[in-house]
């Protein structure tokens, strides 16, 4: 438990990949700030699980798809812990229904851009001073598989634009903060769906997924294990990276094939 005493903030951690990540970091010794927008019951359950592991935890309601929500979350995190050592920007709005860009309304465009890029930048900006002061910090952004290639993604134009912009920001921030002991990396999860977001590898390794080149579905543990590795003290040489956790699956190419 080499991260004992560190404080981690995981956005969108009441459910899914965020929940699995929060529990992973608690298992590594971190005190964890759980963030939710509407899922108060689930967030409190995650908080209680973490406290049951012998760590400190708090659940904070904030909509990170707004700049006001990002400031609210940063304010309450700093009030509770003084500062944040590990920031995992997991939350981000996503429109599952496939839509052409021309079909989006202005409000949705703004929300997607704010939630997946601008509010992420604002949280980083607010919480960086503590990391600089400590001469140590870990920032993890969430993108999508192959976001680093900045290819076209029809029917996902706004989301893809925000996340590929986040790739560039990740690399730039990593260079700027390296002298201060802060690493910045981006995880690109693959097509991990539903209950699998909270499952372990062992729970899914015997299941068949015909769409996955690996042959099994991806799980939350596949993602949280990478975050665990990036947050270790010995991982200080790894920064500015885009790490795809996809099992070899390419969702963008699959969608383009569907269009032909």
Task: Report which of residues 112 and 210 the model is more confident about.
Answer: 112
- Give the pLDDT of residue 209: 78
Task: List the CATH number of the domain containing 130.
Answer: 3.40.50.720
Assign 256 a pLDDT band (cuts: 50, 70, 90): very low
Give the domain range for residue 149: 7-259
Write the pLDDT tens digit of every residue in 225-235: 999 999 999 99
- Give the pLDDT of residue 11: 98
Domain-located, residue 192: yes
Contact present, 1 and 28 (Cβ < 8 Å) = yes
| Separation of alpha carbons 79 and 133, rounded Å | 17
Write the pLDDT tens digit of every residue in 47-81: 999 999 999 999 999 999 999 999 999 999 999 99
Task: Report which of residues 9 and 193 the model is more confident about.
Answer: 9
Residues 246, 94, 112, CA angle at the centre, nearest 5°?
Answer: 125
Assign 157 a pLDDT band (cuts: 50, 70, 90): very high
| Separation of alpha carbons 259 and 64, rounded Å | 33
Q: Is the pLDDT of residue 153 over 90?
A: no
- Give the pLDDT of residue 53: 97
Domain-located, residue 2: no
Write the pLDDT tens digit of every residue in 77-128: 999 999 999 999 999 999 989 999 999 999 999 999 999 999 999 999 999 9
Q: Is the pLDDT of residue 257 over 60?
A: no
Cβ contacts of residue 214 below 8 Å, gap of 6+?
Answer: 247, 248, 249
Domain-located, residue 240: yes
Q: Is the pLDDT of residue 252 over 70?
A: no
Domain-located, residue 95: yes
- Give the pLDDT of residue 253: 60
Domain-located, residue 1: no
- Give the pLDDT of residue 248: 82
> In percent, how much of the chain has pLDDT > 70?
96
Write the pLDDT tens digit of every residue in 163-204: 999 999 999 999 999 999 999 999 999 888 899 998 998 998
Q: Is the pLDDT of residue 155 over 70?
A: yes
Q: 3-class secondary structure for the chain? A: CCCCCCEEEECCCCCHHHHHHHHHHHHCCCEEEEEECCCHHHHHHHHHHHHHCCCCEEEEECCCCCHHHHHHHHHHHHHHHCCCCEEEECCCCCCCCCCCHHHCCHHHHHHHHHHHHHHHHHHHHHHHHHHHHHCCEEEEEECCCCHHHCCCCCCCHHHHHHHHHHHHHHHHHHHHHHHHCEEEEEEEECCCCHHHHHCCHHHHCCCCCCCCCCCCCCCHHHHHHHHHHHHCHHHCCCCCCEEEECCCCCHHHHHHHHHC
Domain-located, residue 219: yes
Assign 152 a pLDDT band (cuts: 50, 70, 90): confident
The number of distinct structural domains making up the chain is 1
Task: Report which of residues 79 and 216 the model is more confident about.
Answer: 79
For residues 157-167, average pLDDT: 96
């Amino acid at each position: 438990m080499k991260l004992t005493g560190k404080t981690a903030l995981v956005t969108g951690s009441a459910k899914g990949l965020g929940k699995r990540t929060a529990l992973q970091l608690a298992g590594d010794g971190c005190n964890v700030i759980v963030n939710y927008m509407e899922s108060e019951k689930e967030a409190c359950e995650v908080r209680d699980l973490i406290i049951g592991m012998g760590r400190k935890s708090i659940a904070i309601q904030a909509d990170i798809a707004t700049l006001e929500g990002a400031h609210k979350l940063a304010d309450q995190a700093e009030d509770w812990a003084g500062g944040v050592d590990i920031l995992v920007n997991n939350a981000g709005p996503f429109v599952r229904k496939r839509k052409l860009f021309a079909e989006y309304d202005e409000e949705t465009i703004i929300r997607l851009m704010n939630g997946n890029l601008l509010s992420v930048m604002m949280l980083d900006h607010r919480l960086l001073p503590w990391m600089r002061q400590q001469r140590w910090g870990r920032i993890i952004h969430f993108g999508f598989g192959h976001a680093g290639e900045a290819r076209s993604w029809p029917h996902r134009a706004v989301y893809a634009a925000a996340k590929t912009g986040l790739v560039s920001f990740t690399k730039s921030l990593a260079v700027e903060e390296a002298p201060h002991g802060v690493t910045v990396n981006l995880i690109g999860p693959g097509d991990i769906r539903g209950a699998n977001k909270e499952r372990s590898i062992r729970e899914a390794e015997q299941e068949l997924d015909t769409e996955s080149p690996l042959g099994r579905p991806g799980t939350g543990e596949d993602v949280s294990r990478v975050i665990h590795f990036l947050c270790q003290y010995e991982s200080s040489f790894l920064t500015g990276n885009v790490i795809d956790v996809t099992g070899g699956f390419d969702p963008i190419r699959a969608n383009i094939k569907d269009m032909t």
